[in-house]
């Protein structure tokens, strides 16, 4: 993929991130941080692209003219859909944006709409269904809040398995595999809260992630951006294993962030939800570093897991089937 096409795909993703006009300042700050952190990519000045999008200096027509192949246009649209659905089923404003993008990119309606249906199904999947099964473990039975009867070893195993699974998803080239990481993280937090006797809803789990410092849209952008700039996102067939090595030397952020969210949630709910906002942020940042240190040890397990996954299995796991 040429640098022009890469820039166009990232530009469309940023346009999608701000399509609803209702992004929290915290999310905007995270998106800017990601653009700054990934600015070293050859031929792609992400901070400049970020400013161009905010200042409305780039349009859908500009993006479409830079994407010269059907595969690049479809990949760009898929990323835009996933950005819109990263924080839940997309809004009416985001739907209008996606309709305009589909027209500007000249996509076949059947192909584009089928991908939207898959992404929407993933975004709308209930957290309470199939969480532990997706991670290959069973979470401990619920106890009353504040009672120390939870099987810590079982929780630790579930957290590690969830981190390995999400690390494996980071190694796959499909757009939907990247999008699946967030709902699986939410299922993990939900299950840990339930094991400690708390019945949570999606709003609470999203607030927990945001308080810890994990933005939903910004996390997807960072994960997908690393794949795209590393030449992995969008590869098919034999290209997947060829891209594993390059992706493995990245931050391993999906493994580390899932590992950290699991262990922070465990401490938070075991302690009766008494950690302050700053303590949550500090604890999460500390455990992320711990997870990054473990990433190399568990990379073979992630690679092996990645070889067993495909888009159908991933969608089924998120939907609890």
How much is the pLDDT for 240?
Answer: 41
All residues at 6 or more sequence positions from 165 whose CB lies less than 8 Å from its CB, including other chains: 134, 135, 136, 184, 258, 305, 317
Q: Decide which of 121, 148, 176 is a domain's last residue.
A: 121
CA distances from 315 to 120, 178, 237, 279 (A): 11, 11, 19, 34
Backbone angle region of 163, left / alpha / beta, with phi > 0 → left and psi within -120 to 50 → alpha: alpha
pLDDT single digits (tens) 6-39: 888 888 998 998 887 766 666 677 777 777 766 5
- Check whether residue 42 and residue 186 sit in a common domain: no
Burial class (CB in 10 A: 0-12, 13-18, 19+), 34: buried
Least confident of 115-129, 130-144, 153-167: 130-144
pTM value is: 0.85
The per-residue pLDDT for range 51-96, each reduced to its tens digit, is: 888 888 889 999 999 998 898 999 999 999 998 888 888 888 899 9
**How far is Cα of residue 147 from the mean position of the Cα atoms in its chain?**
33
Shared domain check, 97 and 151: no
> At 226, is the pLDDT very low, low, confident or very high (cuts 50, 70, 90)?
confident
pLDDT, one tens digit per residue, over 191-203 is 999 888 898 988 8
Contact 9, 231 (CB under 8 A): no
| 3-class SS of residue 214 | coil
For residues 150 and 142, give the distance between their C-alpha atoms in angstroms, rounded to a whole number: 8
294 or 147: which leads in pLDDT: 294
Q: Are residues 218 and 268 in the same domain?
A: yes
Statement to judge: residues 130 and 14 lie in one domain? no
Q: Are residue 164 and residue 100 in the same domain, yes or no?
A: no
Same domain, yes or no: 7 and 101: yes
Work out the mean pLDDT of the chain and round it to a whole number. 82
pLDDT at 192: 92
Same domain, 161 and 34: no
List the one residue out of 138, 147, 139, 95 whose CA is nearest residue 116: 95
- Region for 56 from its dihedrals, namely left if φ exceeds 0, alpha if ψ lies in -120 to 50, beta otherwise: left
Range of the domain at 135: 125-319
User: What 8-state DSSP symbol labels residue 89?
Assistant: S
Domain boundary among 54, 89, 121: 121
Same domain, 163 and 91: no
Domain check: are 167 and 295 in the same one? yes
Give the residue-averaged pLDDT of 138-149.
56
Please compute the mean of the pLDDT values over residues 309-317 and round it to a whole number: 84
Mean pLDDT of 95-110: 93
């Amino acid at each position: 993929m040429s640098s022009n096409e890469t820039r166009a795909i990232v530009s469309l993703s940023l346009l999608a991130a701000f399509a609803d006009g209702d992004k929290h300042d915290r999310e905007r700050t995270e998106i800017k941080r990601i653009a700054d952190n990934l600015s070293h990519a050859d031929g792609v000045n992400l901070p400049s692209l970020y400013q161009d999008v905010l200042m409305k200096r780039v349009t859908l027509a500009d993006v479409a003219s830079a994407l010269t192949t059907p595969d690049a246009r479809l990949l760009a649209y898929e990323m835009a859909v996933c950005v819109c659905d990263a924080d839940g089923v997309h809004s009416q404003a985001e739907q209008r944006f996606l309709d305009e993008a589909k027209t500007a990119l000249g996509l076949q309606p059947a192909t584009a709409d089928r991908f939207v249906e898959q992404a929407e199904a993933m975004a709308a999947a209930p957290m309470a269904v199939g969480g532990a099964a997706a991670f290959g473990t069973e979470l401990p039975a619920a106890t009353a809040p504040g009672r120390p009867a939870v099987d810590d070893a079982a929780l630790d195993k579930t957290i590690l398995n969830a981190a390995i699974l999400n690390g494996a998803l980071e190694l796959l080239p499909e757009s939907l595999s990247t999008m699946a990481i967030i709902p699986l993280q939410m299922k993990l937090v939900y299950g840990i809260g339930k094991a400690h006797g708390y019945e949570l809803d999606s709003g609470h789990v999203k607030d927990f992630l945001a308080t810890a410092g994990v933005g939903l849209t910004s996390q997807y952008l960072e994960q997908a951006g690393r794949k795209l700039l590393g030449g992995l996102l969008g590869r098919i067939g034999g290209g997947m294993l060829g891209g594993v090595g390059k992706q493995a030397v990245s931050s391993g952020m999906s493994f580390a962030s899932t590992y950290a969210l699991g262990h922070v949630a465990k401490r938070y709910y075991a302690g009766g939800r008494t950690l302050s906002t700053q303590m949550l942020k500090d604890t999460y940042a500390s455990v992320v570093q711990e997870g990054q240190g473990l990433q190399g040890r568990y990379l073979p397990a992630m690679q092996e897991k990645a070889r067993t996954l495909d888009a159908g299995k991933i969608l089924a796991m998120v939907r609890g089937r």
